[in-house]
Structure 1
């Protein structure tokens, strides 16, 4: 509801800056290293903001908030897309010798995800733990480690 109120009013306060002894404080903007003055801790929008949020469905948002949203469902990545994701995140941590085993693990994850709720970051974590930076598959403990890292997210066992 806080975000909904901010969007409705077009302004908000930064409590730490409201309490500050300085009448105006410069804060760093997100892009290009710019700095912006904030006077008396108050920030006001000049334009209606565009906000991108992601949700994995773990929480529900209030209807008044959802009415102001454009909702997009992003499909789960294909097996080939998972390979691209793994390479873009972990290529520098994986040896060329591990690539075939990593590809097999991606295939196993893809099949497992058809029947269980799994997140792509679980795959990334599993591959990094098992193969990253020269670990070469972790030997006999590999199966147990993968079982722990690739647990279904929606079961009591996942916690």
Structure 2
């Protein structure tokens, strides 16, 4: 029976998140006051072209569905591994879209990424410069608004006390410095963090409004402390290029995405390009499946080949086979 599944991988938005039961006692958080999840259509939300299309691409297998829903129920991060281009980051967009959890908060990891960058940024130099300028203005009597120099990062925004969980994509965690997984573990376990500069002024300014990631709106922080209410749905992607600390792995739900089969590919092509274009390009899908056995190809390449040949092959007289071969080149050559 699949009645327990909240996320079904259907690609159709629904209110199934309302059926999610209370978290287990060891994953209960009581941050507040509660904030509504921003609507993806809110004009204040920074849109990224293609997000809706990406959300419709992912079509999960049975055990993948079970593991995603396990992470939802247990309020645990989901560590997603698999070949490049297989749809690891797309999974986050699919969950956010289907469960109506607002726009995805994205943190792309590099070797220089730190936990502080994910939580918030504080422009101390800009604040100092403005303070020096205000000394020469005789009518500058209002206190300096420190909130203007603080912006919450994607991780810091996800941990605000939202009524529903935000979806946070931490992309390519294997590129991180060796300390970042352990730093993340601490934040994930506690569901909270502090902004030290706001803690220091809490006696005189207990509530400060700051900018948040991915939106023009602001959030109010009380006494420099942020604690989540609904633990965010965290998707960490990995290409399997490194090992992670055992303590980190124990606290994640792990899922390895497999390459999509014929039925999944058909669903992806139809959802992106329409059933008519799929009917005209079944031979390219078969070629893609045959070539994939000899090397790494991505679903994006297949979609690009179908789109290109449906137009260019007709207008320029090029053969579909030649154009398809130009697009369907192996990602790795090893």
TM-score of the two chains, using structure 1 as the length reference: 0.64
Aligned residues: 142
Contact kept in structure 2, 1:118 and 1:152, CA below 8 Å: yes
1:128 — aligned with what?
307
Deviation (angstroms), 1:82: 0.7
1:88 — aligned with what?
271
1:62 — aligned with what?
244
Matches within 5 A, 1:6-155: 6-12=187-193, 23-25=208-210, 27=212, 36-39=219-222, 42-46=225-229, 48-55=231-238, 57=239, 59-60=241-242, 62-63=244-245, 64-91=247-274, 96=276, 98-131=277-310, 134-137=311-314, 139-140=317-318, 142-155=320-333
In structure 1, the gaps of 5 or more residues are none
Provide the alpha-carbon RMSD of the alignment: 3.8
> Which structure carries more helix by proportion?
1
**Structure 1 residues 65 and 139, CA gap change in structure 2 (3 angstroms):** farther
Deviation (angstroms), 1:104: 0.5
Contact kept in structure 2, 1:117 and 1:152, CA below 8 Å: yes
In structure 2, the gaps of 5 or more residues are 1-179, 200-206
TM-score of the two chains, using structure 2 as the length reference: 0.35
Contact kept in structure 1, 2:210 and 2:218, CA below 8 Å: no
Q: Following the alignment from structure 1 to structure 2, what is the Cα–Cα distance between the partners of residues 42 and 141? A: 62
Contact kept in structure 2, 1:24 and 1:37, CA below 8 Å: yes
**Structure 1 residues 99 and 27, CA gap change in structure 2 (3 angstroms):** closer
Higher relative contact order, chain-length normalized (CA < 8 Å, sep 6+):
2
